[in-house]
Each structure stands twice: as structure tokens, then as C-alpha cells.
Amino acid sequence: MNAYRHGIFPWFSEGEPILWWSPDPRLVLEPSSFKFRRSLKQAIRSQRFEVRVNSAFDQILHLCAYHRPEGTWITDEMQSAYQALNAAGYGFSAETWVDDVLVGGLYGVKIGDMLFGESMVSLVANASKAALAEICTNADLYQIKLIDCQVPTSHLQSLGASLIPRSEFLTRVQQYTL
């Protein structure tokens, strides 16, 4: 918790010591900046996605850990750590379902009005985007003012995420994690 409150997150490969990061610049997503493209709206309707929030944290954590062709840093030890954060009330997940089958979503750590995104997964096209869309569309309901996306990716930038200097990010972390 102390690391997140200081803008630091873990990221490493299995078999390595836990490495901690605070990149400059930092990729963030303002929920109001989410780009809800027509193609995503159509995909959500046609796939009959149902997005649930905080209903299957352990399941989405497991999917994120084990459905990555490049391997994972979400080791059993890290899963236990995130499960403990969830049990303490700091875990946050959005899960996408089709016909009561979990097909994707995301998880992270929520402190105050800040969501520190950790990982996303899709077993079918657009499943993780649908989960992110739910969070952004209903950010007031979930009390989320900013989503930390950590490092730049073209995927998240295409959805509206933008880079900000680390100094600005740390100021906002202090503001939103009270």
C-alpha cells in the first residue's frame, strides 16, 4: 500500500526478485477521456457482454496470470499478495461475462478515488475493453477519478489514456488517495 501511495508498482519476470517501478512519464486514464468507439459499442451488444464489478476478483486475477503467451509476473506469491489486498478492501476488479462464463476483465488496487490498474485479459475480443468501458462510464458510482495505466501502450492510448509527467502523477496520487 505504501508503494502505491507513492506511485510505485511491482513488475518483474518469474524467477527474478520483485522489482519496483515509477516511470516518467506515467500513463493515466481520466474516466471522462475514455474513447467509447462505435465498434466497441457494437461488440458489447453483439457479444451480449455483462460486466460485473468486484464479483470474481480471484478468478480474474487467475485469468490475468495464466492466459499470457509471453509468461507472467503474477506469480503465486503475487497472487496471494493481491488476494490479501482484496480481502483488506483494496482489490478492485471488473469482469466480463457471456452467458455466465467469464471471458475477460481487469483487476487493480483501489485506494481512495484512484484505481491502480494492474492487468487486463480477454479470452474473446473486446472483453477487457468492455470492462474498462464499464468502469469509465460509471466512474462516479465506483468513486474513481483517475486510473493508473503505468506504462505507455498503444492499446490504452487508443482508448483515451495519456502520458503525464511523474511529478503531476504523484501530486494527483496524493490528492486522490486521501
Residues 6+ apart with CB under 8 A from 158: 35
Beta bridge partners of 101: 98
Give the global pTM. Answer: 0.94
Report the C-alpha gap between 101 and 15 in whole angstroms: 32
10-37 pLDDT per residue, tens: 887 767 788 899 999 999 999 999 998 8
> Is domain 2-14+37-142 annotated with CATH 3.40.630.70?
yes
**82-134 pLDDT, tens digit each:** 999 999 999 999 999 999 999 999 999 999 999 999 999 999 999 999 999 99
Please report where in the chains the cell 478515488 appears, as a residue: 113
Burial call 145-169: b when 16+ CB within 10 Å, e when fewer: bbbbbbeeeeebeebbbeebeeeeb
